[in-house]
């Protein structure tokens, strides 16, 4: 932290910029990519009724997120203070409304998100392998001690997430090639609760699947809730904008690169899911990664 003199020659504490463009991109990508990509495909598919329409929803959700993030970028370069929502509402409407927004975030929004993330975590069955692991305390210490340490940890986990999704994408591409060459006319469902044959190229259609019923405009609108949940996190760089070097240049650039990257990765991942899994497989799973 550093200090600077205010209008009344009073020293105020401010954060020292230590994050470059790459760090900013990793913060956004790391916050966006999470359990949503493994939980939301089922909700999107139920709402749309077809694999083709679900892919359109995933692309549209990415575009909506990019538009929303650019609105935040405009706020970020106008009010270059850390705090994001709280700071912007404080500057615009005063402390009372800002407090209400912060209270709702702490008491309603964050607990709901945490519950969903915890549910996804339980499906991945990590507890039997790491029963005594307690990482939150260590990560909290790292974030409090030095922003350089926290950005390195963030970079490491972001690269790990991208590597995992790229592995899924490559696997899906291989299965697409196999399906278009070998399994296109020889695909059968074993059971609605079991894995079907690989290479499900016949599922890439806009026709409503018989396993999904009552699809209309309202359900398609609801499918966007599942899709947009997976893209949540595009505004998190604004919370630490004071620690970003040259925010007027790096904030919009980091937002554009990260949102575009996540949209491409998510869309390719969904295609990979449906090239390997049938509609019945996706609908029967609470989290696609468990399959």
pLDDT tens column, 70-101: 888 888 888 878 777 788 888 888 888 888 88
| Helices 36-48 and 110-123, axial angle in degrees (round to 10) | 100
In this predicted structure, what is the pLDDT of residue 57?
A: 92
What's the pLDDT at 181? 38
Q: Which residues contact 285 (CB under 8 A, 6 or more apart)?
A: 42, 291
pLDDT tens for residues 252-280?
Answer: 899 999 999 999 999 988 888 877 777 77
CA distance 263 to 176: 20
Residue at 219 is within a domain: yes
Mean of pLDDT values over 174-196: 46
Let me know if residue 130 belongs to a domain: no
Residue range of the domain that includes 90: 2-125+146-290
Residues contacting 180, CB < 8 A, separation 6+:
199, 201
Q: Which one, of 214, 194, 155, lies nearest residue 280 by Cα?
A: 194
Give me the mean pLDDT over the 198-225 stretch: 72
Task: Reply yes or no on whether the pLDDT at 188 is more than 60.
Answer: no
Task: Say if residue 232's pLDDT is above 60.
Answer: yes
Instruction: Specify the pLDDT at position 179.
Output: 58
Burial (CB count within 10 angstroms: exposed 0-12, middle 13-18, buried 19+), residue 7 = exposed
Residue 131 lies in a domain: no
Residue 15 lies in a domain: yes
pLDDT at 129: 56
Q: How far, rounded to the nearest angstrom, does the alpha carbon of residue 29 sit from its chain's CA centroid?
A: 7
We report the CATH number of the domain holding residue 13 as 1.20.1740.10
Instruction: Write down the pLDDT at residue 98.
Output: 84
* The pLDDT of residue 128 is above 70: no
pLDDT band at 217 (very low <50, low <70, confident <90, very high): confident
Percent of the chain predicted with pLDDT > 90: 6
pLDDT band, residue 59 (cuts 50/70/90): very high
Percent of the chain with pLDDT over 70: 65
Residue 120 lies in a domain: yes
Give mean pLDDT, residues 160-187: 64
At 52 the pLDDT is 84
What's the confidence (pLDDT) of residue 276?
A: 76
Segment 25-46 shows an average pLDDT of 84
Number of domains in the chain: 1
Mean pLDDT of the chain: 73
Q: Is residue 79 part of a domain?
A: yes
Give residue 146's pLDDT band: very low, low, confident or very high (50, 70, 90). Answer: low
pLDDT tens digits, 248-257: 888 889 999 9
Say yes or no to pLDDT of 244 above 70.
yes
Answer whether residue 274 is part of any domain: yes
Q: Is residue 34 part of a domain?
A: yes
The CA distance from 152 to 92, in Å, is: 34
Total-model pTM: 0.69
Task: Tell me the range of 58-62, 203-207, 222-226 where mean pLDDT is highest.
Answer: 58-62
pLDDT for position 263: 92
């Amino acid at each position: 932290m550093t200090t600077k003199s205010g209008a009344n020659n009073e020293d105020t504490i401010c954060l020292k910029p230590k994050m470059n463009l790459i760090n900013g991109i990793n913060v956004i990508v790391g916050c966006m990519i999470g359990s949503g990509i493994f939980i939301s495909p089922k909700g999107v598919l139920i709402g749309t009724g077809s694999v083709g329409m679900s892919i359109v929803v995933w692309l549209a959700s990415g575009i909506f997120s990019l538009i929303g993030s650019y609105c935040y970028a405009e706020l970020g370069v106008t009010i270059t203070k850390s705090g994001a929502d709280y700071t912007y509402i404080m500057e615009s409407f005063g402390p009372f409304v800002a407090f209400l927004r912060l209270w709702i975030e702490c008491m309603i929004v964050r607990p709901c998100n945490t519950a969903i993330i915890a549910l996804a975590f339980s499906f991945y069955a990590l507890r039997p392998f790491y029963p005594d692991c307690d990482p939150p305390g260590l990560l909290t210490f790292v974030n409090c001690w030095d922003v350089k340490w926290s950005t390195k940890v963030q970079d490491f986990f972001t690269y790990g997430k991208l590597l995992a999704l790229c592995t899924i994408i490559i696997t899906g591409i291989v299965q697409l090639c196999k399906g278009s060459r070998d399994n296109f006319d020889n695909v059968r469902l074993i059971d609605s609760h079991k894995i079907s044959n690989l290479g499900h190229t016949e599922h890439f259609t806009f026709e409503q699947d018989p396993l999904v019923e009552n699809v209309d405009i309202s359900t398609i609108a609801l499918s966007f809730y599942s899709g947009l949940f997976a893209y949540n996190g595009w505004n998190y760089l604004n919370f630490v904008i004071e620690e970003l070097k040259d925010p007027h240049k790096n904030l919009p650039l980091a937002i554009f690169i990260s949102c575009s990257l996540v949209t491409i990765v998510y869309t390719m991942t969904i295609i990979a899911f449906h090239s390997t899994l049938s509609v019945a497989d996706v609908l029967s799973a609470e989290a696609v990664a468990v399959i």
